């Protein structure tokens, strides 16, 4: 089962960009281009785990849509070109979970989406990668039904890669996300842990080394 995300963005290029990346990372997306369309859609379909809203929309703007989202109990991340503090405050005060300013990096968008899903408890509890299944609630990893014991950092690393399937991470990004930004270790540490994961879970073909960039978990 996948998380379902509503993308409301009037610029088709950006809308497609977001949907493309969310889909690749393992989410279902629904793209809308107009504020009024959202209103119409929510009357019949409210099964969204998250909404990415552009603030400046034709029809009804992002701030106006907030009420509908609250009613439908859909957490909102604003996505906007307005970078001034006033707009950010207005966005967050109105009840948005997060606020992303354009232009944004795809990875940032994915991480923020993931964090919001985590925070609002809508994150799916199981991720499968081939024969490997990760139970996020119980912190349990099984391969072919057999439990595999992983060290905490190995587990965190696996979860990060699995949640962002097909997304390449640099070693620095992995260090930052898993070990924390204040960790002063070398990027070799990442290589060692990746090696452990590959061995323990037999994911040699799945966790790929991308030359000059880093690692990527592919389906």
Partner 1 sequence: MKLWKKISLLTAVVLFLAMGIFGGGMLYETWKYNLNQTVSSYQQQIKVNAYVIAQEINNNPLSRFSEVTRKSFLNYTVQKYGGTDYILLKNGKEVVNLTGYMLVSGEEKRFSGSDPEYVLQKTENRHLLVMGQVLKTEKKGNLKFQLILVKDISGIYEEMAKQMWLFILVYLVVIFFAVDIVFWLVRMVLKPLTELENTAGAISRGDWQRRCRVRRNDEIGKVSVAFNRMADKMEEQMEELETVSEHRRQLLGSLTHELKTPMTSIIGYSDTLLHVKISEEQQKKALEHINSECRRLERLSGKMMTLIGLYDEDRIHKEPYPVEKLIQEVADLERYHMQDSGMELQIYSESWEYRMDVDLMESLLVNLLDNAIKASEEGSVIELHGEKGCIWVQDHGKGIPKEEIPKITEAFYMVDKSRSRKAGGIGMGLALCQKIAEIHGARLLIESTVGVGTRICVIFQEEN
- List of residues contacting partner 1 (CB under 8 A): 10-14, 16-18, 20-21, 24, 33-34, 58, 81-82, 102-107, 166-169, 213, 216, 218
Min CB(86)–partner 1 separation in Å: 14
Shortest distance in whole angstroms from residue 4 CB to partner 1: 20
Taking the CA atoms of residue 1, residue 115, residue 214 and residue 175 in that order, the dihedral angle to the nearest 10 degrees is -140
Q: Quick one: 12 or 125, whose CB is closer to partner 1?
A: 12
Cα–Cα distance measured from residue 63 to residue 56, given in angstroms and rounded to the nearest whole number: 9
Question: 126-129 and 98-101: which strand pairing?
Answer: unpaired
Q: Shortest distance, CB of residue 67 to partner 1, whole angstroms?
A: 22
Q: Which is nearer to partner 1, 81 or 89 (CB)?
A: 81
Of residues 84 and 138, the one with the C-beta less far from partner 1: 84
Residue 88, φ and ψ in degrees, nearest 5: -60, -45
Cβ distance to partner 1 smaller for residue 41 or 168: 168
Nearer to partner 1, 75 or 214 (CB): 214
The size of the chain, in residues, is 219
Six-digit token string for 200 = 């323990």
CB of 177 to partner 1, least distance (A): 14
Q: How far is the CB of 82 from partner 1 (least distance, A)?
A: 8
Residue 37 and residue 45: Cα distance in Å, rounded?
A: 12
Burial class (CB in 10 A: 0-12, 13-18, 19+), 76: buried
């Amino acid at each position: 089962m996948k998380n379902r995300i509503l993308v409301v963005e009037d610029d088709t290029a950006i809308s497609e960009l977001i949907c493309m990346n969310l889909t690749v990372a393992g989410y279902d997306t629904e793209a809308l281009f107009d504020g009024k369309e959202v209103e119409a859609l929510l009357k019949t379909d409210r099964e969204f785990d998250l909404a990415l809203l552009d603030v400046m929309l034709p029809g009804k703007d992002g701030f106006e849509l907030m009420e509908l989202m609250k009613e439908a109990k859909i957490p909102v991340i604003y996505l906007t070109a307005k970078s001034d503090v006033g707009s950010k405050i207005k966005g967050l005060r109105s009840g948005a979970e997060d606020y992303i300013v354009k232009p944004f990096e795809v990875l940032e968008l994915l991480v923020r989406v993931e964090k919001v899903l985590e925070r609002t408890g809508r994150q799916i509890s199981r991720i499968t990668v081939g024969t490997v299944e990760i139970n996020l609630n119980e912190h349990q990893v099984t391969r072919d039904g057999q439990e595999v014991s992983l060290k905490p950092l190995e587990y965190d690393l696996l979860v990060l890669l699995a949640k962002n399937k097909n997304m390449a991470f640099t070693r620095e990004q992995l260090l930052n996300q898993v070990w924390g930004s204040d960790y002063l270790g070398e990027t070799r540490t990442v290589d060692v842990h990746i090696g452990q994961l590959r061995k323990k879970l037999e994911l040699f073909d799945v966790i790929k080394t991308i030359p000059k960039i880093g690692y990527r978990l592919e389906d």
